A and B are shown apart, each in its own frame.
Chain A
Amino acid sequence: MVIERPWKRWVYFYIPLTLFIIGTLFPFYWMLITAIRPDAELYRSWRAVNNTPFWTLHPTLEHFRDLFEKTTFPYWLWNTFFIAVVSTGISLFCGLLAGYALARLKFPMAGTLGTSIFVTYLVPPTLLFIPLADIIRNLQLGNTPWALILTYPTFLIPFCTWLLMGYFKTIPKELEECARIDGATRFGAMTRIIFPIAVPGILSAGIFAFTLSWNEFIYALVFLSSPERKTVPVGVVSEMIRGDIYFWGQLMAGALLGSIPVALVYSFFVEYYVTGLTGSVKG
């Protein structure tokens, strides 16, 4: 590598990186500090002399208590989790089969189908939420978890298919051919040879899909109406602001707790997530 003087390393590396770290993480720190700060300190004038905005000497859990006693937050957590898991499962199932078919099988229209699945991948939910709301109403699915479980796969399946298709293409064809010579059926070769090898790819797609559905907002906002049916993002937005008043302590406590599950999943599977992320844009 190129040799560098220490001061250059500071100017070109340590200082910018530190600024990036502070900028990236400060809002999360602020979330945490707000969540454990008593109201008396939260709403203190910004010019007050005794203002110590970056820490608190009186940490409290009252906001978390309020969150569980005054709102249906536990329901939101469970709903979000349930919907994310089921829609991820459906999408993985569909993406696995479709990805295999597109990567390995020869059939008419294969190219067209591949392209159209890729195009649906690029269709943003905000383009379709109004007609979808109408369709969901007509199917009598409004205000049920199924409204989301059935619609989340629309943005998850194309992604899973795309990622897994790429993964299948990296597996040598000879593996399957050997199995077929040994008497395995085509279907058997797929499920017993290829799918097990693709487990890392499946895991990447699954983790990524899970975080995407945990993050989804507009469908959940439009399709759900009763407070106990909502997901965390929608519940926090619509149930925790009464009138024009923001209960910031409670809001930040909810934001923190609503982020922890997805952050945990992420921290256990960082490498898989990164593979999914970089794979999601690979041509």
Chain B
Amino acid sequence: MKKPIAGGTNGAVVVALPHPRTRHSRGLTRFLESERLLAALLLTPTVLLLGMFIAYPFVSGVWLSLSDTSVGNPGHFVGLHNFVKAWDDSIFREAFGNTVFYTFWATIFKLVLGMWLALLLNRSFRGKRLVRASMLLPFIIPTVLSTFAWRWMFDPTFSVLNWLLYRTGFIVTKIPFLSDGVYGMWCAIVVNTWRGMPFFAITLLAGLQTINPDLHEAASLDGANGWKRFWHVTWPLLKPVTLVVVVFSIIQTFSDFQLIYVLTGGGPANSTHLLATYAYQIGVATGLLGEGAAISLFMLPVLFIVVWVQLRYLRRLEA
């Protein structure tokens, strides 16, 4: 088969001449001339992989959630038992509440701080490229690894944040960052915000850069101050990209696992579990595959609504 030209600079020249090798494989060539057949051929690897490792697991997950399967035990159909059992479980309810709470606050903080940072980065100043590049670091560095740094900063005995607050006179005793459920949840929100805010900032910055500066010029000539210019000029133009970023962030935050797994492990006393970490604890650590699958499927309605909003919005854009 022909290989794509790596450089690409001389591609046009090569094709301007009829290629000798194409004559040899007449049958295949004619086959590929049909748009439908070519499309089928090009889509096969993707459809196979996604079907095998997304669609099939999804169906299999629904089946698992309706059965009492555990590791080493094939399991029988039990109807909605797992869902009812989860709903009656106080830890599950707390995990569900935590997930909503965590998603809500983290998304708001990420949006506000990300927007602010984007507006700052949209100005011209020296070293802008370097600053912009380094601002994305929390998003690049594997979450697990950076969360360990935060865990160490929140350490009950050796926390640098406690030291800082103590020395500056804000506190007289240590703050129990991760050894208290309420503090723990807020710490997780802080870390999630720290990690996700650059994503907001950079995508919103890309949106800001498409806004014509003349609009701001005109608005300020008309006497609009900074806040008014943001609210009446920038924000309406930025709304579409903001909605998309928020949808992505909600999905990722709602289904978050690694951050809580490393930061608190769901503790103390199961008070900071999210749906994903609780599903892991039941499904993998305990081995109750059916119940674990049911718990993670509780994410589906929320994800469904979010995806539906997104698709509807995309359709409206296309129309």
Contact call A185/B39, Cβ cutoff below 8 A: no
- Minimum CB–CB distance from B305 to chain A (whole Å) comes to 12
Which residue from B45, B60, B194 sits with its C-beta under 8 Å from A93?
Answer: B45
What is the interface of chain B mostly: helix, strand, loop, or mixed?
helix
Q: Digitize A91-135: 1 where CB-to-B-CB distance is under 8 Å, 0 elsewhere.
A: 001110110111001111010010101111011111111111111
Residue of B nearest to A32 (CB): B149
Contact call B202/A277, Cβ cutoff below 8 A: yes
Q: Roughly how many angstroms separate A227 CA and B79 CA in the complex, as a whole number?
A: 39
Q: Roughly how many angstroms separate A90 CA and B3 CA in the complex, as a whole number?
A: 16
Contact call A248/B2, Cβ cutoff below 8 A: no
Which of B87-95, B180-188, B308-316 participates in binding chain A? B308-316
A contact residues around B254 at 8 Å (CB): 124
Contact call A16/B194, Cβ cutoff below 8 A: no
Which residue from B9, B16, B54, B117 sits with its C-beta under 8 Å from A120?
Answer: B54
Q: Roughly how many angstroms separate A12 CA and B60 CA in the complex, as a whole number?
A: 54
Which residue from B33, B158, B199, B241 sits with its C-beta under 8 Å from A43?
Answer: B158
Q: Digitize B125-159: 1 where CB-to-A-CB distance is under 8 Å, 0 elsewhere.
A: 10001010111111111111110111011010111
- Minimum CB–CB distance from A283 to chain B (whole Å) comes to 5
Q: A187 contacts the other chain (Cβ, under 8 Å)? A: yes
Contact call A20/B117, Cβ cutoff below 8 A: yes
Which residue from A28, A97, A196 sits with its C-beta under 8 Å from B5?
Answer: A196
Residue of A nearest to B152 (CB): A248
Which of B100-108, B231-239, B275-283 participates in binding chain A? B275-283
Residue of B nearest to A54 (CB): B160
- Minimum CB–CB distance from B297 to chain A (whole Å) comes to 7
Contact call B153/A263, Cβ cutoff below 8 A: no
Which residue from A46, A102, A128, A232 sits with its C-beta under 8 Å from B58?
Answer: A128
What is the interface of chain A mostly: helix, strand, loop, or mixed?
helix
Q: Digitize B273-307: 1 where CB-to-A-CB distance is under 8 Å, 0 elsewhere.
A: 00110011001100001001100110110010011
Contact call A150/B137, Cβ cutoff below 8 A: no
Q: Roughly how many angstroms separate A26 CA and B47 CA in the complex, as a whole number?
A: 43
A-facing residues in B43-80 (Cβ within 8 Å): 43, 45-47, 49-50, 52-54, 56-58, 60-61, 64, 69
Which residue from B14, B57, B136, B143 sits with its C-beta under 8 Å from A217?
Answer: B143
Q: Roughly how many angstroms separate A31 CA and B29 CA in the complex, as a whole number?
A: 57
- Minimum CB–CB distance from B39 to chain A (whole Å) comes to 4
Contact call A27/B149, Cβ cutoff below 8 A: yes
Q: Roughly how many angstroms separate A218 CA and B258 CA in the complex, as a whole number?
A: 7
Q: A158 contacts the other chain (Cβ, under 8 Å)? A: yes
Q: B206 contacts the other chain (Cβ, under 8 Å)? A: yes
B contact residues around A113 at 8 Å (CB): 43, 47
Which of A55-63, A64-72, A266-274 participates in binding chain B? A266-274
Residue of B nearest to A158 (CB): B50
A contact residues around B262 at 8 Å (CB): 237
Q: B244 contacts the other chain (Cβ, under 8 Å)? A: yes
Q: B32 contacts the other chain (Cβ, under 8 Å)? A: yes
Q: Roughly how many angstroms separate A185 CA and B292 CA in the complex, as a whole number?
A: 51
A contact residues around B293 at 8 Å (CB): 130-131
Q: Digitize A1-21: 1 where CB-to-B-CB distance is under 8 Å, 0 elsewhere.
A: 110000000001100110011
Residue of A nearest to B277 (CB): A126
Q: Roughly how many angstroms separate A156 CA and B12 CA in the complex, as a whole number?
A: 30
Contact call B11/A236, Cβ cutoff below 8 A: no
Q: Digitize B1-28: 1 where CB-to-A-CB distance is under 8 Å, 0 elsewhere.
A: 0111111110110111111001000000
Which residue from A107, A158, A277 sits with its C-beta under 8 Å from B199?
Answer: A277
Given A281-B244, A282-B241, 11 further pairs, Cβ under 8 A: A27-B194, A46-B158, A46-B159, A97-B45, A101-B39, A120-B50, A131-B60, A135-B56, A270-B129, A277-B136, A277-B139
**A-B CB contact pairs (8 Å), 8 listed:** A24-B134, A94-B46, A126-B279, A182-B17, A185-B32, A191-B2, A217-B142, A259-B145
* A interface residue numbers (CB < 8 A to B): 1-2, 12-13, 16-17, 20-21, 23-25, 27-28, 30-31, 34, 42-47, 51, 53, 90, 93-95, 97-98, 100-102, 105-108, 110, 113, 115, 117-120, 122-135, 150-151, 153-154, 157-158, 161, 179, 182-189, 191-193, 195-197, 199, 211, 214-215, 217-218, 221-222, 232-234, 236-237, 246, 248, 251-252, 254-255, 258-259, 262-263, 266-267, 270, 273-274, 277-278, 280-283
